[in-house]
Structures are given as C-alpha cells and as structure tokens.
Structure 1
C-alpha cells in the first residue's frame, strides 16, 4: 500500500498525521509548527515524546481529535540505548552524570539475565523529570527548580524487552510496552538490577498500534505545504528554529555534550589542516 500524499490530506475535516519528531523538539513544538504551517484550527498529539526522543509522534486534526485517547491507549514500540555505569537525575542526557560505578565485570549472560524481571506487569515510578502532575504542577517544573517531590509508582506492562547489541558500556534494546511506560525509568531500574546504574542515551519510538515511523512525514515535508500568505514576498525571511535547540527544552547537559563534541571536531580539523600544511611542498 502506497503512502498517502500530504497534498491529499483534508486537515480541517480531520486527519491522523504521522510525524517523525526531531531531536530536542518538544511534542508541543511540533504541534505548534504544524498548526502554524498548515493553518489548522484544531490539532493535538496522541502521546508525548520527550525532547531527547525521536520517532513517531501522531497528530490528530479536526474531527479526528476525538480519537486521541483511543490512539494513546495502544501499545508502543521503542528502540534505543542504555549506558551502563553512570546515572543522571533525569535518567537520560538532559542532566549531568551524578554517579559512576564499575561495569566492566559484567558478563553478557548477566546483562541478558537482567531483562527477565521487567517482562509482564511491573510497578514503575515515573521520573521526576516528566510531565506527571504533582499538586497541579508538572513534575519537570519542580525538578528544574532543584526541588524534590514524591511520585507514586504505577502498574505498566512490558510485552517484549530484548537486548539487540551489547558493547559495554552501551546496550541497545527494543521494547513493546503499554501506555504510560517510561523507558527512562526502565533504564534506571535496569541499571539498579545490574548494580552499576544506567541511563538512557537514545530513544526512538518506532510504532504506536499499527502506526509506524516508516510512514511518518518529516517537518520539512510538512512545511513545504505551507500556503502563501499575503505580503510574503515583501516580508523578510523568518529565522527557522534550528534542528537542535537545547535551551528551549532546558537540556543543559545535552547542550554541553554537543558543545564539547563540536569543540573536538574543530580541534581535529585544525590539527589535520596543520599537518597537511607541514607535509605539502612549497
């Protein structure tokens, strides 16, 4: 079955639109971008993705917004990477590493065996850096103020959990889970089970029910459908939000990691240019 063209969508009447969410964008960022680009009056998303997660984000427009709860209730599939031996307060790269422990003694058999306790119905405590509400406030608002709060555990179901690559300290995985499962919490609990700690470094949502990320549209392709507006030819070009904008999402540690990586690349390029200059004849 061929992929439906964006030009054939009737967004005002109602559509289910699959979007491949970019890194560091919040789910609300994507909703706002699509709403403004296509001038859609009624639009919402069916299941939040964290800023540092990518992959399938489902948007519903018009009459299809009535299906949001139904879509959100369907099982989810994710792939990603845990990093063993280090923990962070947010359980991912949003915040800096706060503890490091040895991990090199772990065998592949021990790591694979640590999966079993997380299959089926389990009790899970959501991260403080999450959208869970505590006394009317989002938990992440409390966390980013440096405050503590108690979050109650809840029952979730892990239907499938497999490790697809072990290259210490990294462990790649695939999971299928119920609504309300926090993969970041799974990273924390998996690390606790191994006694070395862990945090999430990569997460891609690949499926919600029968909807798959392979059928999702990029924001660039959606933006290309933006209808012309009166006066566009005289209006100066609007600065688009960059592909990664950590400060908008409060991702200080991730921003620092990106800056360090860019600095290393610049230093290596300068060293290579210097070496080439020395070796080239006059």
Structure 2
C-alpha cells in the first residue's frame, strides 16, 4: 500500500531516550525525503514515549493535537533535588525520607488533582525575552518564569519503593512533569526529582500503536522496493 507522506500523514513515534524531539523529526524527514514535517508536542531528551509527527498538509493539525490531554508514567526520586528537576543536572541537595509513609505520599498526590498554578522549570523551552529558558540556565543565568494554570486530571501513585515513587499522570497541555516532581517533593518536605518519564498517550493516540524510527525506515524501504517493482 502506498503511503502518501507528501499529502499528509500522522505518524506515532516511540521517541528513544536521549534523542531530542527535533532529532526524531530530522531523522524521519531524511528517511521519508519530505520537506514538510513537524512534531505535536516536545518531549525532553531524558523522556521516552509517544511523539506525534505530522507530514505534508497534516502539519495544519499540529496545534489541534498539541491541545489534547496527555498521559505519562514514570518515577520520582524522593529526598534528592537537582537544578533541572530531572537527571540532566547533578543532585544538589539530599534530605532524609526515613519517616515518609505511603499514606503521606498518596495524600500528597491527591492534593495536586484539579486546576492548579504551576511554574515551568528554568531548564525548559519557555521563551524569556525571545530566548529559550534552557539556554539561560545552561549559561548559568537566572530568570523569573511566571506560573500558569494547568489541570491535573489524575495523579495516581502506582508503586512505592523508596526512594522511588512510580506514578501515572493525566494532565492538560502545558504541564511540566518535572515541575510536578519539584512541587511533589516540596509538598512532602523532602525534595524530589524526575528520574524516569514515558509519555503514553496524547488525546486518543496511544504509545502502544507507535512505531520506532527503525520501523519507519523499514516501511519506507519496502515502499520504495514495491514502487521499483511495479
């Protein structure tokens, strides 16, 4: 079956760990030999999971897809903080978690459900005076980032093996799970950082239906072979 990427396709990709979202776009653009392609919602390099790519005329759907709710799973590490709120930077503070109970952890998670104010991390793609916040952060500069309203539709603790806490979060567009890790740690008065993140869903699109970059390469290879034989 011929796939018309130029006319428009939505591709569900399982983004590998350490790749930037742009790395995926660039690689798939080269595989498909297509100029018009973009992604609907950035994933940090240290996050894995669902990245949606739109090609051709379907790039017009990017904003619509980005606006849909997201679902994530992952781990918070309690008792340790980092400047980036994840593993991009080294641990800068360690605190005791010996007295924490599962009940306290569950209650803290429930307190974040609903519409809340959240401040994005300095290590993020938020623009400050035309410059990405992460550029300022990596240069050692500081800046004030304004809090914004987001919605945490579900915050479920799926496992506790201290210092690791496993979670599932369903949230609105614009939610930073790294910021949630920071705020969760502050709520428990012990600090925390995000140590694993997987995006499992965007709206109706699920990670279970996503292709790897190699899958896309193999599909394209087969398509070109079929065309050469026809």
- Deviation, 1:8, is 4.3
**Are 2:141 and 1:147 equivalent residues in the alignment?**
yes
1:182 and 2:176 aligned: yes
Instruction: Kindly indicate whether residue 42 of structure 2 is the aligned counterpart of residue 48 of structure 1.
Output: yes
Is residue 200 of structure 1 aligned with residue 210 of structure 2? no
Note if 1:113 corresponds to 2:82: no
Counterpart of 2:131? 137
Give 1:75-114 correspondences, 5 Å limit.
75-114=69-108
**Structure ranking higher in strand proportion:** 2
Where structure 1 has 5 or more consecutive residues not aligned to the other structure, the ranges are 1-6, 229-282
TM-score normalised by structure 1 residue count: 0.77
Q: Contact 1:85–1:197 (CA<8 Å) still a contact in 2?
A: yes
Equivalent residues in 2 for 1:218-237, closer than 5 Å: 218-226=212-220
- Separation in structure 2 between the aligned mates of residue 203 and residue 8 of structure 1, nearest angstrom: 35
Question: Of the two, which has the highest radius of gyration?
Answer: 1
* Alignment coverage as a number of residue pairs: 222
TM value normalised by structure 2: 0.94
Matched, 1:167 2:161: yes
Task: Please report the RMSD computed on the Cα atoms of aligned residues, expressed in angstroms.
Answer: 1.1
Question: 2:57: which partner in 1?
Answer: 63
Q: Find the partner of 1:210 among 190, 204, 218.
A: 204
Displacement of 1:224 = 2.3
Q: Which runs of 5+ in 2 are unaligned?
A: 223-230
SS of equivalent residue, structure 1 residue 179? coil
Distance 1:172 1:99 in 2: 21
Residue 21 of structure 1 pairs with residue 15 of structure 2: yes
The alpha-carbon deviation at position 10 of structure 1 amounts to 1.3
User: CA-to-partner distance for each residue in 1:222-272, whole Å, 9 max, x for gaps?
Assistant: 1224559xxxxxxxxxxxxxxxxxxxxxxxxxxxxxxxxxxxxxxxxxxxx
Q: What secondary structure, in the 3-state scheme, does the structure 1 residue paired with 2:8 have? A: coil
Local SS of the residue matching 2:150? strand
